[in-house]
Amino acid sequence: MDSMADINSPWVDPEVLSMPDNHPGLSDKDYVRRRRMFFYSAREHRLRKLPSPHFVYLDEETDLWQSVFKRLDDLHARHAARVYLDGRDALRIERRRIPNLGELDRTLQASTGVRLVPAEGLLHGKTYFELWADRVMPCTQFLRHASQPEYTPEPDAIHDIIGHVPPLMDDAYVQLIEVVGQMARQVDAERLEHLVRFYWFTIEFGLIEERGETRVLGAGILSSIGELEHAISNDVEIRPFELNNVLATGFDNTHLQSVLYKAGSLDEIIAAAEALRNRWKLA
């Protein structure tokens, strides 16, 4: 898949790809070129609804995956929610190698019916959530820049595959993303903003209680060494999950999170999503 033909695909406007100004890989020409190849390929496959492309990862990409995975793995064993750990094991997402989307997709489809589609980068919120209504999860395949293994200004394979994909093996969790997706299809911009807050404090940064312990559900925490260490420190304010408070709480995605919400269980979060749908009188 790593060919110039993909880079020069007529399918997309080359100007569409922009890396944020603070991207650590901006001055690394080889990285920018490879990031561009992933971008074109993912965008074309997503928009033309083609099967996920298969990538052969470079040694340095696998090294980066392995070093981040090793550090996260120790923290996951102690702090991740059961629904996450079970899904990760069942999908055989492991330190050894970066999985391709096709193999994860096959296992997910046979289990919960979720499909993975390649994402070229951060998708617009509405586009991203609306896919969830059809049990489709957009997923990036490129990796962050190796100079900053703990930081990425955009979602990458470490965030998406390690953070978001594992709980998709669980029917209840999939019900949650489906309800959020269904709501996203029907709401106006103001309600979408509230829905984003709900997603942020659950799917992205949520905590739940399991057997009297605080466990991490959110992909943004589970895919980030910094956020994980921060979430279990005394520097973060953990509030009990309450729908109205969650909807009233803003967030800053450029810094470590200062406020997190902890629900009694995944079921409590799903019930809150259903309550929101009823409150807004949505189908």
Question: Which residue number, 6 or 99, has a Cβ lying nearer to Fe ion?
Answer: 99
Question: What is the size of the binding site for Fe ion (CB under 5 A)?
Answer: 1
State the minimum distance, in angstroms, from the CB of residue 142 to Fe ion. Answer: 15
Respond yes or no: is residue 159 known to be catalytic: yes
Respond yes or no: is residue 223 known to be catalytic: yes
Respond yes or no: is residue 60 known to be catalytic: no
Question: Which residue number, 99 or 155, has a Cβ lying nearer to Fe ion?
Answer: 155
* Residue of 159, 178, 224, 227 with catalytic role: 159
Say which residue the tokens 């492991």 belong to.
Answer: 94
* Residue of 44, 61, 130, 204 with catalytic role: 204
CB 111 within 8 A of CB 181: no
Question: Which residue number, 6 or 68, has a Cβ lying nearer to Fe ion?
Answer: 68
- How distant, in Å, are the alpha carbons of 143, 189, 234 from that of 149? 9, 34, 24
Task: Select from 16-24, 171-179, 181-189, 211-219 the region that touches Fe ion (CB under 5 A).
Answer: 211-219
What one-character DSSP code corresponds to residue 242? -
Cα distance between residue 166 and residue 258, in whole Å: 25
What mask of x and - would describe binding to Fe ion in positions 217 to 256, judged by CB under 5 A? --x-------------------------------------
State the Cα angle at 267 between 240 and 99, rounded to 5°: 105
What mask of x and - would describe binding to Fe ion in positions 161 to 200, judged by CB under 5 A? ----------------------------------------
Phi-psi region of 49 (alpha: psi -120 to 50; beta: other; left: phi over 0): left
Which residues have CB under 8 Å from 150's CB, separation 6+? 68, 224, 225, 226
The distance from CA 34 to its chain's CA centroid, rounded to whole angstroms, is 21
Task: Select from 55-63, 78-86, 216-224, 230-238 the region that touches Fe ion (CB under 5 A).
Answer: 216-224
- Active-site residue numbers? 159, 164, 204, 223
